Amino acid sequence: MKLYGYFLSSAAFRVRIALNLKGLEYEYASVNLTKDQHRTEEFARVNPQQAVPTLVDGDRTLTQSLAIIEYLEERYPKPPLLPASVDARARVRSIAQLIACDIHPLNNRRVLVYLKKELGLHKQQRDDWYRHWVIEGLRPLEKSLSTSEQTGSFCHGETPTVADVCLVPQIFNAKRYEVDLGPYPNLLRIFANCMQLEAFDRAQPSKQPDAE
Amino acid sequence: MKLYGYFLSSAAFRVRIALNLKGLEYEYASVNLTKDQHRTEEFARVNPQQAVPTLVDGDRTLTQSLAIIEYLEERYPKPPLLPASVDARARVRSIAQLIACDIHPLNNRRVLVYLKKELGLHKQQRDDWYRHWVIEGLRPLEKSLSTSEQTGSFCHGETPTVADVCLVPQIFNAKRYEVDLGPYPNLLRIFANCMQLEAFDRAQPSKQPDAE
């Protein structure tokens, strides 16, 4: 398998964690977003959407991080990253999507670039924007995790799931932008538990070959 | 089942289509986002995330549109909204997520309100923002659908899937903001095919009880 990613991409980070948790070996191909390497014709031949992560598995080219992870779950089911029961799967996917649909899309690189270049926002305004959407998402997530009996050492029970796979890159990102994480003790507790695992630790941005 | 939604919410529109396609009856509870009804304590007791759509099925409360639809797929599998093969499922989920993660989160109501109230952007800037992200997403989607042999009358083959469930509300939204859809003939063709189906037609915003 070959993963096209970038060390700072949260979505690529999710796929790295999932591959590691499932014990799947992969070749890492760096696509430097700050150098617009995703906009090259060469990369357009790999993924016409010109976005990372892109996973090539045999003759399949897979895009969109959560679709890739669902694919891995179906193709390589052990260990599972989704619980067995339908209700629990819905809970885990809902947590994952709160992060992947409600927080991350507003704060990824292309958006921050637009705020700066097209709208001419200064740094304080961009930082306020960033923190606003992180807090809008993490606040209900903390509330939801802290009041559910299904929350355990991880977002759901005692083994990592897709929810944790999404949470950890989001917390890394929030730390990078110096968001005060004090109000989210459960998220920090789960984050710490995840980072004890080699699969999460090895996937972190600073440990990638293209880390700067 | 009870669906908390709002006639203009694209994410609620997705769930309405999915419920209709599966022939599931539901009670519709309107949460008027423009009147901040999602911010009431009453609704917080239903969904602490205070977002629509929220689906109550028996004693389960489900959130996040794609997690809800995956739940419906697992709990009420007929007719399926995902193809049978792992590869095809990945393709369909990727299309759905391109829309649900890369386009819609940037253009939903809370974001447009922030651009206006917090950043003081005037209408032209907000419209440019809207159209920019729609085009950034629809362009690669059109390219991808137009070059795949798996595209049929619908995004994937000859029956509607989760991809179409996401596409149709996005096209409605783009039309509302007067995005020029000329460059996307395949998307318009699929949109027209979907709208021939009663399940899509009946779910559209103007046909909801809370339509204004």
Q: Chain A 148-207, CB below 8 Å of chain B: which residues?
A: none
Arithmetic mean of pLDDT, A30-49: 88
CB within 8 Å of chain B, chain A residues 20-49: 48-49
Please name every residue paired with A29 in a beta bridge, in sequence order, or none if there are none.
A4
**Token pair of B65, please?**
């549109």
Q: Which band of pLDDT confidence, cut at 50, 70 and 90, is reported for residue B48?
A: confident
pLDDT at residue B132, as a whole number:
96
Predicted local confidence at residue B158, as pLDDT: 98
pLDDT tens for each residue of A160-210: 999 999 999 999 999 999 999 999 999 999 999 999 999 999 999 999 999
Cα–Cα distance, B9 to A32 (Å, whole number): 36
Q: Give me the pLDDT at residue A76, please.
A: 98
Nearest by CB: A75 against B67, B86, B144? B86
pLDDT at B50: 86
Specify the pLDDT at position A39. 86
Domain A86-199: top CATH class: mainly alpha
CA of A114 vs chain B CAs: smallest distance (Å): 9
Contact A67 B94 (CB under 8 A): yes
pLDDT given for residue A28 in this prediction: 96
- pLDDT at position B188, please? 98
Q: 3-state secondary structure string, chain A?
A: CEEEECCCCHHHHHHHHHHHHCCCCCEEEECCHHHCHHHCHHHHHHCCCCCCCEEEECCEEEECHHHHHHHHHHHCCCCCCCCCCHHHHHHHHHHHHHHHHHHHHHHCHHHHHHHHHCCCCCHHHHHHHHHHHHHHHHHHHHHHHHCCCCCCCCCCCCCCCHHHHHHHHHHHHHHHCCCCCCCCHHHHHHHHHHHCCHHHHCCCHHHCCCCC
Q: What is the mean pLDDT of chain A?
A: 96
- What is the sign, positive or negative, of the torsion defined by CA atoms of A86, A92, A95, A97? negative
Chain A residues inside the 8 Å CB shell of B90:
60, 62, 67-68, 70-71
Flag if B101 and A64 touch (Cβ within 8 Å): yes
Say if A89 is an interface residue toward chain B (CB within 8 Å). Answer: yes
Q: Measured between CB atoms, does A76 come within 8 Å of chain B? A: no
CA–CA distance from B104 to each of A144, A170, B11, B107 (Å)?
A: 24, 19, 9, 5
The per-residue pLDDT for B45 is 85
Instruction: Inform me whether the pLDDT recorded for B44 exceeds 90.
Output: no
Residue range B20-26: average pLDDT? 98
Q: Do domains B2-79 and B86-199 have the same CATH topology?
A: no
Averaged pLDDT, B187-207 = 98
Question: A106 to chain B nearest CA, in Å?
Answer: 6
Is residue A178 within 8 A of residue A123, CB to CB? The reply is no
Sequence ranges of the domains in chain A: 2-79, 86-199
Average pLDDT over residues A55-63: 96
Instruction: Flag whether pLDDT at B140 surpasses 90.
Output: yes
Percent of chain B with pLDDT over 90: 90
Per-residue pLDDT at A91: 98
* A71-118 per-position pLDDT tens digit: 999 999 999 999 999 999 999 999 999 999 999 999 999 999 999 999
Say if A75 is an interface residue toward chain B (CB within 8 Å): yes
- Residues of B within 8 A of A86 (CB-CB) are 71, 74-75
Contact residues on chain A for B65, CB-CB shorter than 8 A: 97
Contact A48 B147 (CB under 8 A): yes
Report the pLDDT value the prediction gives residue A44, as an integer from 0 to 100: 87
Q: What is the pLDDT of residue B39?
A: 86
pLDDT at A141 over 90: yes
Share of chain A above pLDDT 90, in %: 90
Residue A36 pLDDT: 87
Could you give the C-alpha distances from A51 to A13, A102, B72, B98, B102, in angstroms and in order? 14, 19, 29, 10, 10
Interface contact A60, partner B, CB < 8 A: yes
Percentage of chain A surpassing pLDDT 70? 100
Mean pLDDT to the nearest integer, B166-175: 97
Please check whether residue A14 touches B, CB under 8 A.
no
**Å from B137 to nearest chain A CA?**
8
Question: Of the CATH numbers 3.40.50.2300, 3.40.30.10, 3.30.1310.10, 3.90.1150.10, which one belongs to the domain with range A2-79?
Answer: 3.40.30.10
pLDDT for the residue numbered B4: 97
Q: pTM value?
A: 0.97
Across the interface, whether the CB atoms of B93 and A51 are under 8 A apart is answered no
The answer to whether ipTM exceeds 0.90 is yes
Mean pLDDT within B77-99: 98
**Structure tokens given for A185:** 């003790």
The mean predicted confidence, pLDDT, of chain B is: 96
pLDDT at site A50:
86
Query: CB-based burial of residue B59 (10 Å sphere; 0-12 exposed, 13-18 middle, 19+ buried)?
Result: exposed
